[in-house]
Copies of this chain bind each other. A is one copy, B any other.
Amino acid sequence: MNRIITIGREFGSGGRELGKRLSDLLGFAYYDHEIVRAIAERSELAESYVDMVLENGVNAYYPITVASTFAAPIVAPVPAVNSGIYAAQTEILRELAQRSDCVIVGRCADHVLAEYHPLRIFVYASMASKLARCREREPEDSRLSDRELEKRIRAVDKARRDYYRFCTGEPWGDKANYDLCINTGGVSIKALAASLAALVQAMPNKQP
């Protein structure tokens, strides 16, 4: 059976970078937005629509803000279509898990792929640390104030929490549901990935 690493992460905690670096170091496939693309292809829906539904749930009908203002509603909710997106995601996640060793960021993959006994990692940090990390990645022309940026971080994390609860019925980020929870405050993701790769290789394969 392939080795699967799932990474849940708070926005701004460096979870995506950690997943990418970890997959490079271990020689595992890496999946994040690729999953949205695959669902869009399979369902013949726009990537942006698939993304919006996965971020906002089956009854989603407006896009979440990705800047400081809300965009106007673009579509009416279509629960049957939206449910199909979730079913397609489950199907694709299982296909990927069967294909090769891989790192999957987000997508409730820890829960969806439970039967594959993934190593379940959750990455988090204090708000101060997340603000600092977001600032590092921010485009130079960004005009978000600290308050706006914090509001955005909270909104994205709320969407992830709601989505996780919707998919799994469990509280998002509860350590009982993970094998390893890592606080990235004050930590170099590059250094962390290197040592974590060693730990992943040394940890007993959790698979039966």
Contacts and interface: CB of A to CB of B under 8 A. Distances in A.
A204 B191 CA distance: 7
Contacts of A191: 202-204
A192 interface: yes
Nearest to A182: B180
A195 B203 contact: yes
A99 to B, nearest CB: 25
A51 B173 CA distance: 34
B178 A183 contact: yes
A159 interface: no
A124 B175 contact: yes
Interface in A4-39: none
A179 interface: yes
A107 to B, nearest CB: 21
Interface residues of A, number: 28
B175 A181 contact: yes
A194 interface: yes
A67 interface: no
Contact of A198 (B173, B176, B185, B198): B198
Nearest to A173: B175
B180 A183 contact: yes
Contacts of A173: 175
A169 interface: no
Interface of A: 122, 124, 126, 173, 175-176, 178-183, 185-188, 191-192, 194-196, 198-199, 201-204, 206
Cβ-closest 3 pairs across A and B? A195-B202, A181-B181, A195-B199
